Amino acid sequence: MQLTFNSLFSRLTSNKGYTIDQTILIVAIIAILITLVIITVGWQLINRSSGTKAGAQLKQVEDANGQFYSGQHVWPHVALTTAGTPTSNIAVLVNNTIPAASWASNVDKTDLRNILPGFRITGTGTSAVVYHGFGGGNSTTGIITEQANTMATVGSDQRMVVQFADMPLADAKEADKAIDGAIDATKGRVVYGTTACLNSTLGGATTIPTAQPTASLVTVCYAANTVN
């Protein structure tokens, strides 16, 4: 016999009521239903939160670039005596162990510190490697790099383009939606595909994916700060 909430309420408020066994059964059924709802909603929130966090990490690197420029009046890719590489451009943001002779003469060496707190870092100096925390980001993959590139999806200006390698596709899509307002791997400030999109050459053009990826892990490129 199927019981509705109205009939349950009627029985509970009537003089007859339920037996102890019936009451325990009803409470157990309600508890199971509530648990199922919590689990379903919880997983949805966790998945959405993860993607939102990915977008926040991309923004955090952008903010760190801006903070570095504000304090040093140079962008990371021109902060060293040699042309910045995708690895060294990130390295200048995370530590002050780069030898003094390696810094450009106009860099204030007394104001160098880690301005990307919360990220996993291995190595020191210009060889320091920074990792995001998604998918394989806690192993030897999931590396963050950046270079001054042009990105056709946002115009002809040079940008500090940030690349997150080996990011789960679901997180990339949520980051895309959070930043660009829609999910499209080939348009906007966030693009992603199965191969590297960052051009390691200073001033080069970012490679724009031509199709929506289906692989479980993708490489994300984000057009961050305008540098010219």
Residue 125: per-residue pLDDT: 92
| Rounded CA Rg of the chain | 25
Q: Tell me whether residue 7 is exposed, middle or buried, using C-beta atoms within 10 angstroms of its C-beta: 0 to 12, 13 to 18, 19 or more.
A: exposed
For strands 158-168 and 190-193, give the pairing: unpaired
Q: Is the pTM of this model over 0.85?
A: no
Find tokens 């963050």 and name the residue: 144
Structure tokens at 135: 């998918």
Neighbours of 226 (CB within 10 A): 11
List the single range of 35-49, 91-105, 126-140 with lowest mean pLDDT. 35-49
Exposure string of 133-143, with b = 16+ CB inside 10 Å and e = fewer, is ebbbbeeeebb
Q: How confident is the model over 138-155, as a mean pLDDT?
A: 89
Closest Cα partner for 98 from 85, 63, 140? 85
